[in-house]
């Protein structure tokens, strides 16, 4: 992989939802965000168990990154498309007992032309998710 196009972390998404939360009756887009977050949580629930992630072939592609954790990539999902219920990366942090705990998910898209990445995918409903072209990833 030359470059990865963007990451949008579930932890950041949940924080954003808490900060910008409003009455469900006032904002139908907010309702869709909540539905989408619930879909992602249900789709990744099995990976709360770290051993399940390892058994399914997720690999640590970053080592420990302070304030983030270990980025475990599912190589089978690194296909250049955003799929809500199939995040490419699960983040884990060791707890006080040394056991890995799931703390977030990220989406990672490899652009066709890393020198001209173009626009990121649509992502979640609304405009609260932010994509970043990561030139440091090689």
Here the tokens at position 93 are: 């942090």
CB 137 within 8 A of CB 121: no
Residue 137 has pLDDT above 50, yes or no: yes
Percent of the chain residues topping a pLDDT of 90: 50
pLDDT at 28: 61
The per-residue pLDDT for 29 is: 58
Q: What are phi and psi of 10, to 5 degrees?
A: -60, -35
Q: Taking every pair of C-alpha atoms in the chain, what is the biggest distance, in angstroms?
A: 45
**pLDDT confidence of 46, banded at 50, 70, 90?**
very high
What's the mean pLDDT in 104-112?
87
CA distance 91 to 105: 6
Q: Would you state the pLDDT for residue 74?
A: 95
Q: How confident is the model at residue 125 (pLDDT cuts 50, 70, 90)?
A: confident
Domain ranges of the chain: 4-20+28-134
């Amino acid at each position: 992989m030359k470059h990865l196009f963007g990451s949008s972390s579930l932890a950041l998404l949940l924080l954003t939802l808490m900060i910008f939360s409003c009455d469900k009756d006032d904002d139908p887009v907010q309702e869709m965000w909540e539905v989408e977050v619930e879909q992602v949580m249900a789709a990744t629930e099995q990976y709360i168990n770290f051993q399940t992630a390892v058994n399914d072939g997720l690999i640590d592609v970053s080592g420990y990154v302070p304030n983030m954790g270990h980025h475990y990539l599912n190589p089978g999902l690194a296909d250049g498309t955003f799929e809500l219920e199939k995040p490419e990366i699960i983040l884990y942090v060791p707890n006080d007992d040394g056991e890995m705990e799931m703390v977030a998910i990220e989406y990672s898209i490899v652009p066709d032309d890393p020198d001209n990445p173009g626009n990121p995918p649509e992502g979640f409903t609304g405009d609260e998710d932010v994509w970043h072209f990561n030139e440091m990833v090689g």
